[in-house]
Amino acid sequence: MMRKINTIALTALLALMMIIYAVPAGAQTDSEELPEYTGGPAEIRMSWWGNDDRAERTLAVIELFEAAYPDITVIGEPNGGAGDHFQILDTQLAADNAPDVIQFGGNWPDYVQYLEPLNDYLGEQLMIDTPETFDQAALTPATDLDGNLYAVSLGTNTLVLVYNKTMIEAAGVDLPEDNMTWEELIEYGRTLKEALPEGVAPFVDNSMNQANYLSYFYTQQGEPIWTLDDGGTSYATVETAEAWLQMWADMREEGLIPDADTTYTYTEDGPDSSALIAGDAAINLVWSNQVAAYQAATTDELSMTTLPSGGEPAYAIQMSQYLGINNNSANKEAAALFVNFFVTSPEAGAILETNRGVPSSPVVRQSISEQATDIDAAVYHIYDAVADRTVPQGPNLPNDQEFVNELELIGQQVAYGQSSVEQAAADLQALIERLIVK
């Protein structure tokens, strides 16, 4: 029997991170309090993934940082989607040419051998060592079992179902409710399909394009794909893999998701290539910090609801992304100061807003609270709606990027009829078992 997860403390703390906007006494409030740079002229590089909107925001923060630290130049390197980013990063690391500051997701442990431990920078260049400057719970997921901090959280986010409110209202169908079960959501999709224009599917095919959605389903079944139990354990079974794949195959058969050709027209790694934004589907799985970018990409009004309920609690409010420092950097002090500016400067926060999640700095949260949009408010609503079924953020499966890539291939084989659900489930289970011992 898997170990029961105690969710209460972390859930409450993460919820608190969402709603507290009061600035604690002693918090850094302006750039005049930035830590001093003691080195000479230096140039550092920063790489990240994301769309053009994220790139523009990041480059604007770089300009602010360079103004605050005239001796430091930062070269920004946007790498497109997450897959592109990590493929480029892997090549750079192999060639000993990786950036000084690197954006990671929950897969940072796969790169720990390349990362600078940050403990010695705390309270010096990284002013994130007190509750007044940074949520201390946000440090935990990026700290190893020996107490070494390897990355700095850029905020929290969670998965949501984004829907085209304009399209659904035009079809004369009620908007989806929060916390529907899987069965209720699929039945809602059937109602929607009858009312939507010909060629528009109720749902985007999210069967295998989001490892986190798959992981969410496994956790609901009481079978987390990967845990730290006993030094690392998977509870995944082929039966759960088959249940997941069969559910989506049935939805494809009923026309509740687009056909294979339409599905794979889009990469679904952002609004620039999404069936939702293109008008081929009405509901899509999206990270909460991405919703504003999706809204900016369409004149239709979007809104959001929760992932389906059922089974064991599985909803994770988690760290969205991290910044880590290359341990081979020649300018680690400058890199640490840049990371500090990125996550604690109110001026930077006013530019970044919630693009990489709800910030972990209470000072930054206050700086953006007064400019919260309707989308921001809807995100906060989701946090409240799932408060009684959330779990602490679990670890990614080892070799996470390889897992993501292989999932897509397994999904395509089912969608195009080249693999049965039974065979694909066996392949998925074999993939999990191979990656955890690799």
Structure token digits, residue 233: 């354990």
Given the structure tokens 């409240």, which residue do they identify? 384
What's the sign of the alpha-carbon dihedral 159, 163, 165, 171? negative
How many Å separate Cα 299 from the centre of its chain? 25
How far, in Å, CA of 5 to CA of 382, rounded?
Answer: 22
Q: Domain 159-317+393-436, what fold?
A: D-Maltodextrin-Binding Protein; domain 2 (3.40.190)
* Long-range CB contacts (within 8 A, 24+) of 296-302: 296/53, 296/271, 297/271, 297/272, 298/164, 298/271, 300/164, 300/165, 300/166, 300/167, 301/164, 301/165, 301/166, 302/162, 302/163, 302/164, 302/165, 302/375
Q: Cite the DSSP H helix spans in 227-373.
A: 238-254, 260-263, 275-278, 291-296, 332-344, 346-352, 362-369
Task: Work out whether strand 315-316 and strand 390-391 pair parallel, antiparallel, or are unpaired.
Answer: parallel
Q: What is the pTM of this model?
A: 0.75
How far, in Å, CA of 366 to CA of 30, rounded?
Answer: 12
What's the sign of the alpha-carbon dihedral 415, 420, 422, 426? negative
pLDDT value of position 32: 54
Tens-digit pLDDT profile for the chain (438 aa)? 333 333 333 444 444 444 443 444 344 444 458 999 999 999 999 999 998 999 999 999 999 999 999 999 999 999 998 889 999 999 999 999 999 999 999 899 999 999 999 999 999 999 999 988 998 878 988 998 889 999 999 998 899 999 999 999 999 999 999 999 999 999 999 999 999 999 999 999 999 998 999 999 999 999 999 998 888 899 999 999 999 999 999 999 999 999 999 999 999 988 999 999 999 999 999 999 889 889 999 999 999 999 999 999 999 888 889 999 999 999 999 999 999 999 999 999 999 988 898 888 988 888 887 777 888 778 878 888 888 898 877 888 999 889 999 999 999 999 999 999 999 999 999 999 999 987
pLDDT value of position 28: 46
How far, in Å, CA of 195 to CA of 172, rounded?
Answer: 7
For the chain, how many residues are written?
Answer: 438
CATH of 42-154+319-379, one of 3.40.50.720, 1.10.1060.10, 3.40.190.10, 3.40.50.1820: 3.40.190.10
Structure token digits, residue 240: 């759960």
The secondary structure element, H or E, covering residue 283 is: strand 281-287
Task: Work out whether strand 159-164 and strand 101-104 pair parallel, antiparallel, or are unpaired.
Answer: unpaired
For the chain, what are the domain ranges?
Answer: 42-154+319-379, 159-317+393-436
For residue 434, the one-letter residue type is R
DSSP letter (8 states) at residue 313: -
Give the number of other CB atoms < 10 A from CB of residue 172: 7
Structure token digits, residue 163: 């829907």
How far, in Å, CA of 266 to CA of 272, rounded?
Answer: 9
For residue 145, the one-letter residue type is L
**Does 42-154+319-379 match 159-317+393-436 in CATH topology?**
yes
The secondary structure element, H or E, covering residue 166 is: helix 165-170
Task: Work out whether strand 72-78 and strand 42-48 pair parallel, antiparallel, or are unpaired.
Answer: parallel
How far, in Å, CA of 233 to CA of 218, rounded?
Answer: 14
Whole-Å CA distances, 416 to 247, 256, 259, 264, 420: 16, 16, 9, 10, 10
Cβ partners under 8 Å of residue 30, min gap 6: 346, 347
